């Protein structure tokens, strides 16, 4: 699981709008890719200097500037100047410890979201990445912390012209990006769901401390996901109400669709939380059942052998006058007695359903 | 219990409106049944090709097209074209992992619901099925995942003309379908209620691990039902407020009635959840009572026999000078001592209410 | 406790408005009593046929028709025709598994409530009864499942003319009926409160499994009461807002008074729930304290006698050369040793506050 | 702790407005004190008959009639007639089982509150008293169940003319009374806070059943306080919005101040509840730690002495041919073996951190 | 942790507006620092008498009067007269037991906040301090309980003119103070986060009672922080809506930024609470696992040695006729038997996964 709190304190005392990158540097060099397209025309290139972006600002075509790696504050500053971004927006893009939110600056909308990856390692931990999207009248700028192929299907759809992405405006592109991110949650949740089912089965077979740790770790993942997804609902719902005509009427129905998906994600997280606490209950009671079983074994053994040991002790005594010792069949009577005691004890425990 | 999460990730990256069936295929071939009726006329037939539906779209009679089996996306596509359904509606019908909701497209209302079956198997698990209903001005199209006889009573009422179903419009037919689905919840809940009562009784008699698993399984069923029924309330309440005159004034009072039933279902689920957690409490404390009882037996046995075994050990010692061993009645004194100790111990435990 | 869920499934598939009695038949024959009165005039009679009611519908005097026993659907049907009741109202009256609610049909108000009795049996279980009240401009029709003397004080007040019941209209009569029902809750709650106090005292003296079952049973009673009282709040508050002038301005202040009582009842139920869970906490920890005590006894006994038994065993060994056995005072040294060990152990446990 | 539910059932079946005192009689005779004052004039007297109050009703000076002891219903009835109080108000004053509330009768405001005392006894239980305040245009009537010196500071302020109580109107006097009651909560809470801190310290030293009972008793006090303080918030906030100009604009800022205090009280109660449940957690886990410790002692003793006792038993056997018994140093070898076993066991437990 | 409740009862019975310092005196002498500045001019001085402040009230430059130490009520009284502060404001400044809130007196805004320090001691407890800010048209007065260097960065920014603090108005200064306080929470939360991670790791290694106490102490810190931060959200949101033009339009976006940070703080606190309860769960179940392990050891030892000790006892008996004792290899058979029993027991436990 990722750290719950990033080193935000580095910024304490600085004036607002100070551009400081909060988070880990996950990529060596910032990579800027530009897609400039309309229904008939498409240009895709990787650019070196932010200066090259200037031409796209007021072009009639839709432009998607995708930035991977946000630790170079200089790049951001320059983009901020070119596209007229507010210093607080730039500060928020750099601060990877944001809560999902939408801010309407009228000239542009600023949306910040979280996406989650399964980092594939042995413990299959979930890591998160912050994605910022700026939607202007004819452009979309997106910021990612590292290079991933999450947006590959969208790039494909732009290149091939499949679907109506090429026909629609910048708002539809922004919608497609957000949709991809939300769809991604389902993948993460499916993996979590499989883990929970696996845990349930392994619990019944053999409750170990590892199982407990796995439950707790999943619980924390859910806390963590929930923290990111709850505000998402509000974010998307505020997008639907965004003013300044940056979002067209026709895109609204698609936003409603994402909104439904978000509710679905929240529902699933809540269901998983409920399921995890019932798994925990099963764990705890199977632990206490084990204890019960151990105690039963101990008690049965003790209850059978203590009286017998006492009897053996009695006939080991050295009293001068101890009549049974003189009997011809004394020893065999003793064994008979032992067997009777043992069997009647076992019958008693059987009746009490201990056995 | 059904899986909590279906393989929705198959759709990640696809453009919205992509028609992909999410869920298991539960039936071999899609079956389309058409009921076309007004107060005096009735036609019922099973059709082969979607083309045959075209005639019903603008006919003055009420038409109910009931589709069982939704895995054939081609059928849906064609129906979509004929009745002018939005691509997102078609996508939602195919995705059986929906949350109950109502969407008002003005030309038609789209309602998606969940129904539950007891799959009759040994473990009497609950399975769910998604039902989509499209209500147009003079037609209702309903989609089910498999063939069931759930809507049989409605078909009967259409055939016999009992009640005012034949007299009323398409909205009343849609209401009747929803009413049937909600009534179905009561059947499921009654079965769950009986299980809970059975569990309570069997708990008092004999708390076993099976009981615990049954409690947990019922708890999960309740989580699962609740997830489907909570949004239902909102769905039905939004139906009452639906615009575009698809729902007549006279049907509203019936929707209010379903709304009350939904609240009743939610109430019952919440009550069952409360009851299940109190059953769980009883289970846990009866387990710990058992432990107590076992410990008591162990302690009583140990407390009685340990001192006695020690005494037997003492007179088994080989000291040269051990006066009691020489006594004429030593052995009988010993037994007298043993009996006194044992009885006084038992009296002590009796007083402490251990016995 | 009454069953949580009645056999509502008997109605699944039937058209709405089907008159089917859901619940147990609690009385042999339906009994209809009529009170017809104004400030100066009073007529009280028991009637046989519903036809006799017809005259009261439009009479200028206030008429109270009280029906005990609702299993005869025919009676209801006829009353429905005479007083113009909606089929759904009749259906709701017959279905004794209703949630308290108020429905405003403008010609009349329909109120359904629950009342509770202590069925006086050995286990003093609470049973519930559904009471339906129909308030028309000049008449009140009330339906009860069985014959009780709950409304006796109201009948007395009508007969004697005490209070301003005879002076006021039908709405004040309806208010008085509801007030009686709500006052009844306080009686039930007082009994529950006494049970809780009794449980608390008996817990401290002797925590038994019976106590636990009594706690759980009270908890369920509270769940059950709560389910009925929560919607009551809303019901009464909607009565205050009822349109169509069926409720006069002057009665509103009395409804506000009942509303306050309802809140008080809800508060008390919540308080009892809190108290019951703290009683449960006490129970659980007194059980675990008992366990602790048992373990202490076991441990003290074992810790004292195990070393001693070992020592006795040592001097029971048959080694050829075992010097202590030859000593003149060996046996007495042994006993000295035993006493020293035992006392020092006891002192140790005393210090550890085990004793 | 005071009883949670008073004998309200005595009133079941009576018509509304029946004047019946519900609660215990806490004082022998009702005592009526009158303060009549304006900025320059002050009259204070104890009166015998309610008739003497009549003169104050329309006098231009502010009059405070303070009644201690409410069991004499006749006094109330007479006051009701003189000051034109609604029968339901009189009923509410007599019923000491009220929830805090404010009722606006336009001619007067009726406020009912709860105050709490520490009854100073050995167990330092909290008892509550109901205080009713009636605010008219130029008079305040307050009702207390018994004689206390809670309002002494206000009487002093009236007598000395300190502060602007004498300058302000009746609403400011009513405010001052309420303020005194709310300030009183802080005293009760401080004592509760000290008890909690004391409990925490004593828990760490020695967790006893007494501590548990003290925790539960405090928890119940908090439930009880909360029940009274929650509605207080709403009560005061509705005072701010009261119509009919009984409350002057200038008093509103003071009501806002009390409102803040009420929130503070609620916050503190919630914090105490949280703290108490964490104290309970500490208690429970320290109990289970004790159990652990006891089990460790038992296990260590048993694990050391069982093998040794077995060995002693072996050499106590009477086999004809048992070679070790013949050895010259057999007995000493035996002791060497015993010491080696015991020490290695202890080392093992030490490593496992049991020791 | 700081005390949850300060000695507010000292004020019970006093008229509102009584200036009494509630809290501990944390500084010897009140220290007043004045910053008077505009874009080009800056004066910074420490003043002795409140009289010197009078000149700044209506000056066109922005004035920041920072007061450290609030126990001298005389200083406050004088400032109150000079700047026209309401007596209730002064009372609130002195009462360090306030809930964060904003009050709009139109001539000035009064904001009270809490800040937290890690008092650096051995147990690293969190202490809180109350900070009051008064924002007038051209002045800001801030009150702190003791001297700290929390506002040092702001002083630096004023001195150096970095950022646009010097260019903006008094509202921006007030915003900067609040921003500093909120940023401070992140520092505290980071430390808490590190503690939680440390606890988790140490739990897995060795669950001790100290760990439990550390968990509970952190939990209480969170309760405490939460109590202060929840109302903060509302406070800042009401600042945004403050009337009377004390807050300029341009500052609002910065307040929105703080608001987001506050939400972030609340989110983190809630997450920490969730994490702490899951840490507690791990603790509790690792304690019960330990118990299990101890019980297993005890049971294994007892189960192996009890039968063996019995057998040894049998052959220690003194029966005249006990055939095995006469056997040549009897003793060795005995040992063979012992070894077989022990090994088969161990195999049994191994299979049951006890070993």
Please state, in angstroms and rounded to a whole number, the distance separating the CA atoms of residues C143 and C150.
13
Min Cα distance B211 → chain A (Å) is 11
* pLDDT confidence of residue D3: 47
In which element (H, E) is residue C274 found? helix C249-314
pLDDT for C136-182, tens place per residue? Answer: 989 999 999 888 888 988 998 899 887 788 888 899 999 999 999 99
Question: Across the interface, do B353 and C206 touch by the CB < 8 Å criterion?
Answer: yes
Q: Which residues of A touch E205 (CB under 8 A)?
A: none
Cα–Cα distance for residue pair C135/D263, rounded to 1 Å: 42
- Chain segment C72-116, per-residue pLDDT in tens: 888 888 989 999 998 889 988 988 888 899 988 888 999 999 998
Reported ipTM: 0.76
Return the CATH class of domain A292-351.
Answer: mainly alpha
Output the CA–CA distances (angstroms, integers) from residue D203 to A146, A260, D197, D208, E279, in the order listed. Answer: 52, 51, 10, 8, 21
- Cβ of D16 within 8 Å of Cβ of C282? The answer is no
Report the range of poorest mean pLDDT among D137-141, D149-153, D210-214, E81-85.
Answer: D210-214
Closest partner residue to A5 among E257, E268, E289, by Cβ? E268
Q: What is the 3-state secondary structure (H, E, C) of chain B?
A: CCCCCCCHHHHCCCCCCCCCCECCCCCCCCEEEEEEECCCCEEEEEECCHHHHHHHCCCCCEEEEEEECCCCHHHHHHHHHHHCCCHHHHHHHHECCCCCEEEECCCCEEEEEEEEEECCCCCCCEEEEEEEEEECCCEEEEEECCCCCCCHHHHHHHHHCCCCCCCCCHHHHHHHHHHHHHHHHHHHHHHHHHHHHHHHHHHHHCCCHHHHHHHHHHHHHHHHHHHHHHHHHHHHHHHHCCCCCCCCHHHHHHHHHHHHHHHHHHHHHHHHHHHHHHHHHHHHHHHHHHHHHHHHHHHHHHHHHHHHHHHHHHCCCCCCCCHHHHCCCHHHHHHHHHHHHHHHHHHHHHHCCCC
Q: Which residues of D touch E220 (CB under 8 A)?
A: 275, 278
Q: Do C312 and B316 touch (CB under 8 A)?
A: yes
pLDDT at D251 over 70: yes
Cβ A138 vs Cβ A277: under 8 Å: no
List, in order, residues 6 or more apart from D143 with CB less than 8 Å away.
D67, D70, D93, D131, D132, D133
At residue E296 the predicted structure's pLDDT band, cuts being 50, 70 and 90, is confident
Q: What would the pLDDT profile of B189-198 be if each residue is shown by its tens digit?
A: 888 888 888 8
Report how far residue B163's alpha carbon sits from residue B172's, in angstroms, rounded to the nearest whole number.
11
CA gap E104, B334 in Å, rounded: 92
Alpha-carbon E70 to chain mean position: 23
Contact call for E152 and A13, based on CB within 8 A: yes
Set of chain A residues whose Cβ sits within 8 Å of the Cβ of E320: 325-327, 330
Q: pLDDT for A283-297, tens place per residue?
A: 887 788 888 888 888
* Confidence band, pLDDT 50/70/90 cuts, at residue D228: confident
Chain D, nearest residue to C152 by Cα: D13
Determine the average pLDDT of the residues in A144-172: 87
Dump strand ranges (E) for A41-186: 42-47, 62-68, 101-104, 109-118, 126-135, 139-144
| pLDDT score for A4 | 46
Range(s) of chain C covered by CATH 1.20.58.340:
291-351
In this prediction, residue E23 carries a pLDDT of 76
Residues of E in contact with D289 (CB under 8 A): 209, 287
Q: In chain C, whose CA is at the least distance from the CA of B264?
A: C99
Substitution target from D11, D12, D230 for chain C, most C beta carbons within 10 A = D12
Phi and psi torsions of C317, nearest 5°: -75, 155
Residues of chain E positioned with their CB less than 8 A from the CB of D321: 328-331
Average pLDDT, chain B: 84
Query: Which chains have at least 3 CB atom pairs separated by less than 8 Å from chain C?
Result: B, D
Does position A27 have pLDDT exceeding 60, yes or no? yes
Minimal CA separation from E259 to chain D, in Å: 22
H-state helical runs in A95-208? 152-160, 170-205
- Residues of chain A positioned with their CB less than 8 A from the CB of E316: 312-313, 316
Residues of chain D with CATH 3.30.460.20: 10-285
Are E69 and E29 a contacting pair, CB within 8 Å? yes
- Chain-chain contact of D11 with C183 (C-beta, under 8 angstroms): yes
pLDDT > 90: what percent of chain D? Answer: 15
Nearest residue of chain A to residue B1 (CA atoms): A197
| A neighbours by CB contacts (3+ pairs under 8 Å) | B, E
Q: Say yes or no to pLDDT of B122 above 60.
A: no
pLDDT surpassing 70 at residue C297: yes
Distance of alpha carbon E232 from alpha carbon E102, whole angstroms: 9
Q: Is the pLDDT of residue D5 over 60?
A: no
Helix (H) or strand (E) segment spanning residue A305: helix A249-314
A5 Cα to chain E: minimum distance (Å): 6
pLDDT of residue A7: 62
Q: For A275, which of B99, B223, B284 is closest by C-beta distance?
A: B223
If you search the block for the tokens 């922004």, which residue do you land on?
A174
Among D83, D70, D82, CA closest to D19 = D70
Higher pLDDT residue, E114 or A23? E114
SS3 C248: coil
- CB contacts of E318 in chain D (<8 Å) are 318
Q: Which residues of B touch A314 (CB under 8 A)?
A: 312, 334
**Highest averaged pLDDT of the listed ranges A156-165, A259-268, D328-337:** A259-268
pLDDT band at B35 (very low <50, low <70, confident <90, very high): very high
Give the pLDDT of residue E243.
72
Location of each CATH 3.30.460.20 domain in chain A: 14-285
Nearest to C295 among D212, D216, D295 (CB): D295
User: Chain B to chain C, count of Cβ pairs less than 8 Å apart?
Assistant: 157
- In which band, very low, low, confident or very high, does the pLDDT at A12 lie, cut at 50, 70 and 90? low
**Residues 6 or more apart from E289 whose CB is under 8 A from it?**
A209, A287
Higher-pLDDT residue of B171 and C326 is: B171
Indicate the helix (H) or strand (E) that contains D236. helix D209-240
Residue of B nearest to C17 (CA): B163
Quote the minimal CA–CA distance from B351 to chain C in Å: 12
Q: What are phi and psi of E241, to 5 degrees?
A: -95, 5
Q: Does domain B8-285 have CATH number 3.30.460.20?
A: yes
Q: Do D312 and C310 touch (CB under 8 A)?
A: yes
Asked if the Cβ–Cβ distance from E99 to D353 is below 8 Å, we say no
What number of CA atoms fall less than 13 Å from residue B130's CA on the CB side?
23
Tell me if residue E147 falls in helix, strand or coil.
coil
Superfamily of domain D289-351: Magnesium transport protein CorA, transmembrane region (1.20.58.340)
Tokens of E253: 């976006």
Q: Pick from B348, D282, A295, B295: which is nearest to C285 by CA?
A: D282
Residue intervals in chain D for CATH 1.20.58.340? 289-351
Q: Are the CB atoms for B30 and B69 separated by under 8 Å?
A: yes
Q: Cβ contacts (< 8 Å) between E294 and chain D: which residues?
A: 292, 295-296, 299, 354
Q: Where in chain E is the domain with CATH 3.30.460.20?
A: 8-285
Strand bridging mode A109-118 / A101-104: antiparallel
Average pLDDT over chain D, rounded to whole?
Answer: 84
CATH code, residues B288-351:
1.20.58.340
Residue E3 confidence (pLDDT) above 50: no
Task: Give the model confidence (pLDDT) of D168-225 as tens digits.
Answer: 889 999 999 999 999 889 888 888 888 888 888 887 777 677 788 888 888 888 888 8
Each residue of A131-161: b (16+ CB within 10 Å) or e?
A: bbbbbbebbbbbbbbbeeebbebbeebbeee
Residue that is written with structure tokens 């607002």 in the block: A16
**Residue D121: per-residue pLDDT:** 59
Q: How many other CB atoms sit within 10 Å of the CB of residue C201? A: 9
Look at E313 and A318 and tell me if their CB atoms are within 8 Å: no
Which positions in chain E touch A328 (Cβ < 8 Å)? Answer: 321
A355 contact partners, CB below 8 Å, separation of at least 6: A300, A346, A349
pLDDT score at B124 = 65
Per-residue pLDDT at C1 exceeds 50:
no
pTM attached to this predicted model? 0.81
Distance of alpha carbon C65 from alpha carbon C53, whole angstroms: 8
Task: Say if residue A130's pLDDT is above 60.
Answer: yes
At the topology level, CATH places domain D10-285 in: Beta Polymerase; domain 2 (3.30.460)
Query: What pLDDT band is residue E227 in, cutting at 50, 70 and 90?
Result: confident
Strand C109-118 relative to strand C101-104, pairing? antiparallel
Distance CA A273, CA A221 (A): 10
| Domain limits, CATH 1.20.58.340, in chain B | 288-351
**Does B2 have pLDDT greater than 50?**
no
Q: Which of A88, A99, A334 sits opposite E267 (nearest CB)?
A: A99
DSSP H or E segment with residue D129: strand D126-135
Q: What is the pLDDT of residue A109?
A: 92
Query: Residue D141 — pLDDT band, cuts 50, 70, 90?
Result: very high
Shortest CA distance from E105: residue in chain D: D253
Fold of A14-285: Beta Polymerase; domain 2 (3.30.460)
Q: In this predicted structure, what is the pLDDT of residue C135? A: 93
User: How are beta strands A139-144 and A62-68 bridged, if at all?
Assistant: parallel
Decide if D292 and E295 are in contact by the 8 Å CB cutoff: no
- How much of chain E exceeds pLDDT 90, in percent? 15
Nearest CA in chain A to E301: A298
Contacts of A339 in chain E (CB under 8 A): none
The fold of the C291-351 domain, in CATH, is Methane Monooxygenase Hydroxylase; Chain G, domain 1 (1.20.58)
When CB atoms are compared, the residue of E280, E295, E330 closest to D321 is E330
Order of strands, sheet of D139-144, starting from the edge strand that comes earlier in the sequence = D42-47, D31-37, D62-68, D139-144, D126-135, D109-118, D101-104
Neighbours of chain D (3+ CB pairs under 8 A): C, E
């Amino acid at each position: 699981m990722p750290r719950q709190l990033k080193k935000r304190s580095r910024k304490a005392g600085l004036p607002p709008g100070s551009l400081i990158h909060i988070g880990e540097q996950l990529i060596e060099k910032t990579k800027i890719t530009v897609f400039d397209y309309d229904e008939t025309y498409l240009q895709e290139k990787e650019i070196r200097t932010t200066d090259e972006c200037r031409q796209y600002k007021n072009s009639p075509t839709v432009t998607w500037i995708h930035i991977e790696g946000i630790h170079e504050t200089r790049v951001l500053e320059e983009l901020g100047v070119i596209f007229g971004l507010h210093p607080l927006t730039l500060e928020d893009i750099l601060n990877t410890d944001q809560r999902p939110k939408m801010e309407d600056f009228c000239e542009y909308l600023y949306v910040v979201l979280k996406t989650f990856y399964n980092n594939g390692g042995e413990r299959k931990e979930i890591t998160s990445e912050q994605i910022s999207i700026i939607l202007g009248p004819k452009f979309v700028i997106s910021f990612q912390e590292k290079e991933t192929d999450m947006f590959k299907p969208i790039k494909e759809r732009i290149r091939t012209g499949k679907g109506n992405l090429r026909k629609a405006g910048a708002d539809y592109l922004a919608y497609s990006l957000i949709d991809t991110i939300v769809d991604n949650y389902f993948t993460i949740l499916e993996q979590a769901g499989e883990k929970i089912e696996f845990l349930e089965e392994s619990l019944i077979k053999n409750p170990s401390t590892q199982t407990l740790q796995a439950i707790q770790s999943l619980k924390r993942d859910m806390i963590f996901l929930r923290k990111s997804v709850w505000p998402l609902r509000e974010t998307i719902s505020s997008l639907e109400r965004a003013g300044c005509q940056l979002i067209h009427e026709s895109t609204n129905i698609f936003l409603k669709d994402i909104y439904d998906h978000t509710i679905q994600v929240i529902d699933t997280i809540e269901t998983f939380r409920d399921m995890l606490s019932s798994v925990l209950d099963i764990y705890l009671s199977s632990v206490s059942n084990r204890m019960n079983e151990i105690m039963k074994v101990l008690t049965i053994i003790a209850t059978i052998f203590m009286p017998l040991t006492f009897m053996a002790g009695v006939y080991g005594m050295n009293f001068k006058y101890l009549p049974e010792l003189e009997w011809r069949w004394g020893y065999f009577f003793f064994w008979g007695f032992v067997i009777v005691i043992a069997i009647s004890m076992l019958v008693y425990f059987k009746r009490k359903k201990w056995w």
